[in-house]
Amino acid sequence: MYPTQLEKTLKIQRRVISFHLDALEKAKLVKSEFGLTEDHRPQAVRYYSITPKGKDILERLLNMLNK
C-alpha cells in the first residue's frame, strides 16, 4: 500500500502515516519501492511492505496480546 491508501483506510492524516513509515523503514521493519498507481491517471508513489523482521515482530506482538 502507499500512504494515501492507508490514509483512506485508517482515517489518519497522510503526513502522520509517512512519518511513522519512515521510522519503520529506518528500523528495517518495512521496505519501500517506487511504482505507479493503477488509477486512470497513474501517479508515481512509494509502495510499502512489511519485511520478514517486521512480520516476525508483529506476530510476536499479536501472540502476546492474544494471551
Q: What is the pLDDT of residue 59?
A: 96
Q: Quick: pLDDT tens for 51-66.
A: 999 999 999 999 999 9
**Rounded to an integer, what distance in angstroms lies between the CA atom of residue 23 and that of residue 36?**
23
Domain that holds residue 40: 3-65
CATH code of the domain containing 36: 1.10.10.10
Whether the per-residue pLDDT at 67 is higher than 90: the answer is: no
**Could you tell me the pTM of the whole model?**
0.79
Q: How many Cα atoms occupy the beta-carbon half-sphere of 56 within 13 Å?
A: 5
Total structural domains in the chain? Answer: 1
CB 47 within 8 A of CB 2: yes
Q: Quick: pLDDT tens for 38-50.
A: 878 888 989 999 9
Q: Quick: pLDDT tens for 4-36.
A: 889 999 999 999 999 999 999 999 999 999 998
